[in-house]
Amino acid sequence: MQFRPVVKSLRSSDGTSIHAEFVGDVQKPCIVLVHGFNMSSVVFDDLFCDVSLLREVCMARYDLRGHGRSGIPEESSAYSSSLYADDFSTVMREFRFGRPILVTWSYGGSIPCDIYANLGPDILAGVVYIAGFPYLAPPIFPDGVTQLTVTCLQCQMYPPDVAAYLRAKTTFVDAICQWQDVESVEHRRRLTWLAPAFFQSPQVVRNLLTRQQDPEKLLEALRCGTPVLMLYGDADKLMNGEHIVREMQQHCADMEVHIMRGAGHAPFFERREEFVSGILRFVDRAMTKRKLDSTAF
C-alpha cells in the first residue's frame, strides 16, 4: 500500500504561512499529528509512511506557527490562542477533515486547549497526549517538567550569550532520545530533529512559552466524555508523566493511560510498533464511541 503525500503551504487567518501535509485514504478515520517544542513535523516521518497505520487511518501533520517550515513571527500578538485554533481550522478545511483524532506530542499537547477554547466542543473525536502538556498553565506547566527542561527552556528564553543558547537547544533535543551511534543514520536523524530549533530567536521562544491559554473549555469537554489516551515513557528525561496523569484524571470521564517501559520522551520513535498498536486501538475505541453517540439522537 503506497500513498503519495500531499504537501501544502497554507495561509492562516492572519496571513502566517502554515506548512501542512496529508497522506492516506480520506474515507478512513483521520488523525492529525502535532509535534513538540523546538521541533517540526519531520519527527513523524516514520509514522507518515507506516503501512500498518495507513491501512486503518489517513493522516495530516503540520508545522506549528513559530516552528519549522511555518511562519515564525517575532510579535507576541502572533501567538494568541485564537490564532493557533485558526491554524488548525485552516488545515482541516484544506484537507476536508471532519472530527479527527488529534495525536499530540509534548508541547503540541497544548493545541487541543486552543481548539476547544475557540472552536467549540464538537471538533475532535478524541485526543492523544504523547508525553504531552494539556495546557500551558499551573498545575500542568511548569510542574509537569523536569529540572533539566526548566534549565534548557530558561536559557533559551533569556540566554546569557549565543553559545549558551545553542548548548541549551542541543541539550534539550539530545534529551529526547538516546542517540547511541553518532556515525549512523541516528546521527543524521538527530541533526534533522535539531535543525528547526535554530530558526527560533529568544523572543520567539518567549512567545511560545508564555502565551496565554484558558483550559476551562478543554476540561469541560473532557469531563463530558471526550476520549483521551495519555501515553508516556517511564524513562522520560524532560517531563513527569505521573504528575500530568494525576492532574488530568480528575477531569477526564474517559481516559486511558499507557506507560511505555524504558521509553523516553519520544516513544513514537523509540517504540514505534508498540506505539502504533496503541494508537490503532484508541482510534477504534474513539470511532466506536462516536458512532454510538451519533445513533443515540
Q: What is the pLDDT of residues 111-127, one digit of tens each?
A: 999 999 999 999 999 99
Domain boundaries, the chain: 6-145+211-295
Three-state SS letters, 257-270: EEEECCCCCCHHHH
Q: What is the pLDDT of residue 295?
A: 62
Q: What is the pLDDT of residue 83?
A: 98
Q: Are 267 and 177 in contact (CB under 8 A)?
A: no
Q: What is the pLDDT of residue 181?
A: 56
**In Å, how far are 52, 54, 130, 267, 276 from 49, measured between CA atoms?**
9, 7, 19, 17, 12
- 228-233 sheet: strands from edge to edge: 6-11, 17-23, 58-62, 30-34, 101-105, 126-130, 228-233, 255-260
Residue entry with cell 509512511: 49
The C-alpha angle with vertex 152 and arms to 39 and 16, in degrees rounded to 5, equals: 35
Q: Is the pLDDT of residue 186 over 90?
A: no
Phi, psi of 64 (to 5 degrees): -60, 150
Q: Strand 255-260 relative to strand 228-233: parallel, antiparallel, unpaired?
A: parallel
Report CA 220 to chain centroid distance, whole Å: 20
- Please give the single-letter amino acid code of residue 219: L
Q: Is the pLDDT of residue 179 over 70?
A: no
Q: How far, in Å, CA of 134 to CA of 104, rounded?
A: 9
Q: Which of 11, 50, 7, 176 is nearest to 107 (CA)?
A: 176
CATH number for the segment(s) 6-145+211-295: 3.40.50.1820
Whole-number average pLDDT of the chain? 94
Q: Which of 219, 281, 288, 280 is nearest to 253 (CA)?
A: 219
CA torsion, ordered 116, 24, 65, 177, to nearest 10 deg: 100
pLDDT tens string 26-37: 999 999 999 999
pLDDT tens string 45-67: 999 999 999 999 999 999 999 99
Q: What is the pLDDT of residue 187?
A: 83
Work out the burial of residue 175: count CB atoms within 10 Å of its CB; fewer than 13 is exposed, 13-18 middle, 19 or more buried.
middle
Q: Are 40 and 105 in contact (CB under 8 A)?
A: no
Name the pLDDT band for 108 (thresholds 50, 70, 90): very high
Q: What is the pLDDT of residue 294?
A: 64
pLDDT tens string 200-214: 999 999 999 999 999
What is the mean predicted confidence (pLDDT) over 134-162? Answer: 94
Long-range contacts (CB closer than 8 Å, 24 or more residues apart) made by 201-207? 201/74, 202/156, 202/157, 202/158, 202/159, 202/165, 203/74, 204/66, 204/72, 204/73, 204/74, 205/153, 205/156, 205/157, 206/76, 206/157, 206/158, 207/66, 207/74, 207/75, 207/76, 207/78, 207/79
Q: What is the pLDDT of residue 182?
A: 52
